[in-house]
Amino acid sequence: MKSSFVVLVVLLSKLFALGADPEPYLKSAPMPFYPPLCRTARIRGTVTVHFTVNENGDTSDIEADGPKLLREAVVQDLKDWKFGWAQPCSCHVKKEVLFVYKISDKWVDDEGPTSLVRWFGKSPVTRVEIEAGGRTVQP
C-alpha cells in the first residue's frame, strides 16, 4: 500500500510538471552598449521590449517601445540573445524585458570605465540598465 502511494505521488508530480508553464533561461547575450550617438546627444530613457522565445531558444517577433535610437539598439541586441530550456520543449513563450539607459557624470574619470551594465532577474532577466559616463570618448 505504501509503495503504491509513493508511485502515485511520483506520477502525479510528473503530470503536473508536464502541465506547468515552461520558463526559458538566458544562455547567452551580447553585452548591451550605449549607442554612441545617443550618448553624445545625452539621450536617455527606457525601452520596453516584448519578444517570443521559440523551441530552439531563438528570439523573434521583437517589438520595442521607447526612444527610437535606443529601440534600434535593443532590437539589434535581442536578435543575438540565446535561451535554453530545462527540458526539451516545442514551445513558444512571450517575454518582456526593460532596458534602462542612463547618463551619469558621477563616477566617470579618465581611468575608469566608460559605461556600466547591470542585469536584474536571475532567470528570467527582467531588466537591464546601461549607464554611460557623461563625457564623450575620443577615439
How much is the pLDDT for 38?
92
* β-pair type (127-133, 93-104): parallel
Question: Does any domain span residue 93?
Answer: yes
Predicted confidence (pLDDT) at residue 137 exceeds the cutoff of 70: no
Answer whether 70's CB lies under 8 Å from 99's CB. Answer: yes
Mean pLDDT of 67-81: 95
- Model pTM score: 0.76
* β-pair type (127-133, 59-65): unpaired
Question: Does any domain span residue 15?
Answer: no
Helices within 27-114 (DSSP H only): 36-40, 68-78
Q: What angle do CA 28, 30, 32 make, to 5 degrees?
A: 130
Question: Does any domain span residue 5?
Answer: no
Question: Does any domain span residue 4?
Answer: no
Q: Give residue 86's domain range.
A: 23-133
Instruction: State the total domains in the chain.
Output: 1
